[in-house]
Amino acid sequence: MPSTSSFDNLSEVQNKSLLEKGRIVLTLAWPAIVENILQTLVGFVDTLFVSELGLVEVSAVGITQTILQVYFAVFMAIGVGSTSLIARAIGANNIKEAQKVAKQSVLLSSWIGILFGLITLFFAEPILRLMGAEPAVLQQGTIYFRIVAVPSIFISLMFGLGSLLRGVGDTVSPMKAGFWMNGIHILLDYVLIFGLGPLPGFGIVGAAVATVVSRVVGVAILWIQLRKSETNIGKGWSRGWKADRSVLRSMIQISTPAAIERLIMRVGQVFYFGLILSLGTYTFAAHQIAGNIEAWSYLPGYGFAVAAATLVGQQLGAGRPKDAFSYGWISAGLCAVIMGFLGVFEFFGGEWAAHYFTRDASVIQQVGLALKIDAFKEIPLAIVLVLTGALNGAGDTKWPMISTAIGIWIVRVAGVYLLGIQLEWGLVGIWLAILLDNLWRAVFLGWRFHSRKWSQTMVKADFSS
């Protein structure tokens, strides 16, 4: 795939037709969609392998992954700032500024990664104990947690380098890195967990080592691709790595609301999961099964969000807010069509899919009802995901944070309590609350993006000097 720099010429983008703009959006989106599918598949395979070791190991990995989601939220938020700034620099055809942003992004990702690594080294066991891990799980979990998260610098750099490449319009290189990383992960997972020939298996330690090695490989591939980028953002890095306070300040200002938004989402999920647990094991099991099936339907949303963030940022950098506006809505429209079709499958095929997870007729029926409600959520969710990406690309991260805070803590949590528990609608009430949350955020973010105030603010950040 060509990078955005080879899409004819950035100065000619405003002359493209609606069809041509749609093609550009799809060209950027599909590799990011594939990358997300790969990550989901590998997570499934990883859980499958570890489940052969026993429930203690499954719990140890599961509780560690819950904590790592918080780490990921911070690392991804740094990537939001990197994508926005570098996309605007590329749009303005200011390669020196782009190189500066890239170097500062690598520095910031490294510092944050080292910080989280040190936190893990000294506080792994207290954190797991705080999460309520039982003694057997605590022992195995501490070992796994330290191995995978002390070298958090590789996780942070993986997110940071991928964000830089996506910001310049190269979504293929992160996808290729994902292929290699995930393939190596699956292979090493099997060999190091169970052993092969004379090589003994190392159980949960092997699973952790496989994860770390695959991440190191992924970072190496992304680093090479960044240095080889047609945009030259990886050139001239030998001239020093001093911190640039102005660039770092801008990056942090953009990234902080994005980090808060993701943390609000994670904490809110933990809270309303507790409410769902209070409804009973079967209801919670049905909710989890429905969530596992539904998770595949929103993978396209992340891909189109990447495309929207890149294109909106680049058009603003080039001083073309009208094109940024059109790319945002084109991305949202294409994603809504695709996720709408997936919603049709959920509506008619939910119970069929549930048979692969359980044989309990009552649970299957509940899953089917939940997914019928969820089918109507797919189009609003497409708008939420893509317009969040578009606003992040513009550096306008405060408004997605506000929408998520209200949506999760007022609409969703209150809705689960009122509809699911007080009115005793059970799983139907829970998924109606989730639908209402996404409808609210779609309307709110749609209003914000349509107002174009984000473009007026960001055009003032001039990269043309």
Domain ranges for the chain: 26-235+242-254, 279-465
Residue 187 CB neighbour total at 10 angstroms? 13
In contact, 302 and 382? CB cutoff 8 Å: no
In contact, 192 and 207? CB cutoff 8 Å: yes
Q: What values do phi and psi take at 196, rounded to 5? A: -155, 120
Q: How many helices (H) and strands (E) does the chain have?
A: 17, 2
Residue 105 makes CB contacts below 8 A (sequence gap 6+) with 78, 81, 82, 85, 86, 160, 163, 164, 251
In tens, the pLDDT along 178-231 reads 899 989 999 999 999 999 888 888 999 999 999 999 999 999 999 999 988 888
pLDDT at residue 378 is higher than 90: yes
Q: What is the predicted pLDDT for the residue at 224?
A: 92
Q: What is the predicted pLDDT for the residue at 229?
A: 85
The residues pairing with 196 across neighbouring beta strands, listed in sequence order, are: 199
- DSSP-derived pairing of the beta strands 195-196 and 199-200: antiparallel
C-alpha span between 158 and 221 (Å, rounded): 10
Q: What is the mean pLDDT of residues 54-69?
A: 82
In contact, 25 and 311? CB cutoff 8 Å: yes
Pure H helices in 52-171: 55-91, 95-130, 135-149, 152-167
Distance of CA 244 to the CA centre of its chain: 27
**Of all residues in the chain, what percent carry a pLDDT higher than 90?**
59
pTM: 0.85
C-alpha span between 217 and 149 (Å, rounded): 16
Residue 145 makes CB contacts below 8 A (sequence gap 6+) with 64, 67, 120, 124, 127, 128
Cα dist from 360 to 288, 356, 363, whole Å: 14, 11, 5
In tens, the pLDDT along 142-166 reads 999 999 999 999 999 999 999 999 9
In tens, the pLDDT along 268-281 reads 877 777 788 778 87
